[in-house]
Amino acid sequence: MTSYLFTGGYWLDPQRSELLEGVHVLVENDRIKEVSDRPIVASSAEHIDLAGKTLMPGLIDCHVHVVAALVDLATNAMAPSSLAALRAARILKELLMRGFTTVRDAGGADHGLVRAIEDGLIAGPRLVISGKALSQTGGHGDGRARSNNRDISFSERVGALCRLADGVDGVRKAAREEIKAGADFVKIMANGGVASPNDPIHALGYSRDEIKAVVEEAENAGTYVAAHLYTDEAIARAVECGVHSLEHCNLIQPETARRAAKAGAIAVPTLVTYEALASDGKTFGLGPESVAKIETVRKSGLASLDIMRSAGLPMAFGSDLLGPLQRYHCMEWEIRRRVQPAVEVIASATLIGAKLCKLEGRIGTIAPGAFADLLVVDGDPYRDIGVLQGDGAHMPGIMKGGVFYKRAL
């Protein structure tokens, strides 16, 4: 049995808005065994003196694409699967070393990557997956040029984020296949998108009947649907059809945000990706049709955060960065912080993320029985969210499931 006892520092409990001092945390194997304000006797445990540093739960990003090694998603999908998997391994390791001990993949990652992490073949965060995202023909997941009507989307390859499925029967079958293959939730493209050639932002993806059919399939399997969405019309329609996880939401309006909150939905804004696409997208192969669409969604980003916050719609932390743009990951912290207090931003990447991953009480918290996913950080993230930035530079300790992946203590 491997066992660690953390003492002598501060404790960040996302349920409280201030750090606590004098807390002792005992880890046994992959779990947190005990949390106490009194000294814990654990003679066989290795004692770790935090020396005034802060112990906090590992972070959760609810919108990543770990197989997106390139900004050009059509080329990415065509890569040999062996190459795509090895590229994903590098992205996963980088996510973990930024302090993200759980990520929810919103299109692309398969059960093989989940297994590779669980079996210890590669170092990466806990991986919650949708499998391939479902897109209608001509929708956000259809990367084919206008003149390309060949029925080839490379969706069987590791590097593909999406698969095409049309019609109520078609989407049911696709959802069932993804769930059978290990999807933890089902992702659909229900609105136009930036990184795809033929779908304007305002385009609605899928008919109501198709969306409702996927929602039914997901609910039959005990899970939910996440939908790619920007416009108010698309979001309102998705909420009415029973979609639970609302990705992006850049153009949401107050009434829809209130209705989404009432329906118990969770939003996942991903503002950093539009900043990164605007500054570097073209350099990394984003097509001219896509570049033209960025501003439509980028300029309303901060306003959308404010609208969702005022409506009481919970927001998880997301980033949605593609390929080399992942280097901007930590910028999402400061973007959020412009609208939300630090305690809310951190709750989005812990408590709310845990809920959306259906791992409430097991991740995003330091409590007995939870996975020992822990970060040791220099300083107080409530006072300075910058300690979560810098790609892990201010994190001398990163532990996932009771195993140290970084230990400079």
Minimum gap (Å) between residue 24 Cβ and Zn ion:
40
Minimum gap (Å) between residue 197 Cβ and Zn ion:
16
Task: Between 125 and 402, name the residue whose CB sits nearer to Zn ion.
Answer: 125
Minimum gap (Å) between residue 10 Cβ and Zn ion:
35
Question: What CA–CA distances, in Å, run from 34 to 5, 40, 99, 179, 387?
Answer: 9, 8, 22, 35, 26
Task: Between 106 and 272, name the residue whose CB sits nearer to Zn ion.
Answer: 106
> What gap in Å lies between CA 331 and CA 227, rounded to an integer?
24
What is the CB neighbour count within 10 angstroms for residue 321? 26
**Alpha carbon 366 to chain centroid, angstroms:** 20
Residue 95, helix vs strand vs coil: helix
Residue 401 CB partners (closer than 8 Å, separation 6+): 30, 126, 371, 372, 373
Task: Between 42 and 278, name the residue whose CB sits nearer to Zn ion.
Answer: 278
Minimum gap (Å) between residue 65 Cβ and Zn ion:
6
Task: Between 19 and 272, name the residue whose CB sits nearer to Zn ion.
Answer: 272
Minimum gap (Å) between residue 396 Cβ and Zn ion:
31
> What gap in Å lies between CA 381 and CA 363, rounded to an integer?
18
Tokens coding 297: 């969604």
Minimum gap (Å) between residue 373 Cβ and Zn ion:
23
Q: Roughly what angle, to the nearest 10 degrees, separates helices 232-240 and 208-220?
A: 50
Minimum gap (Å) between residue 282 Cβ and Zn ion:
19
Task: Between 54 and 270, name the residue whose CB sits nearer to Zn ion.
Answer: 270
Task: Between 61 and 320, name the residue whose CB sits nearer to Zn ion.
Answer: 320
Sign of CA dihedral 66, 69, 72, 77: negative
Q: By Cβ distance, which residue is nearest to Zn ion?
A: 320
Minimum gap (Å) between residue 62 Cβ and Zn ion:
10
Tokens coding 363: 């991740």
Q: Where do contacts with Zn ion occur on this chain (CB under 5 A)?
A: 106, 320
Minimum gap (Å) between residue 249 Cβ and Zn ion:
12
Task: Between 65 and 237, name the residue whose CB sits nearer to Zn ion.
Answer: 65
Question: What CA–CA distances, in Å, run from 234 to 11, 25, 396?
Answer: 41, 45, 43
- CB-based contact 65:107 (threshold 8 Å): yes
Task: Between 301 and 397, name the residue whose CB sits nearer to Zn ion.
Answer: 301
Number of H helices, E strands in the chain: 14, 19
Task: Between 13 and 320, name the residue whose CB sits nearer to Zn ion.
Answer: 320
Element (H, E) at 275: helix 272-280
Residue 229 CB partners (closer than 8 Å, separation 6+): 190, 191, 235, 238, 246, 247, 248, 249
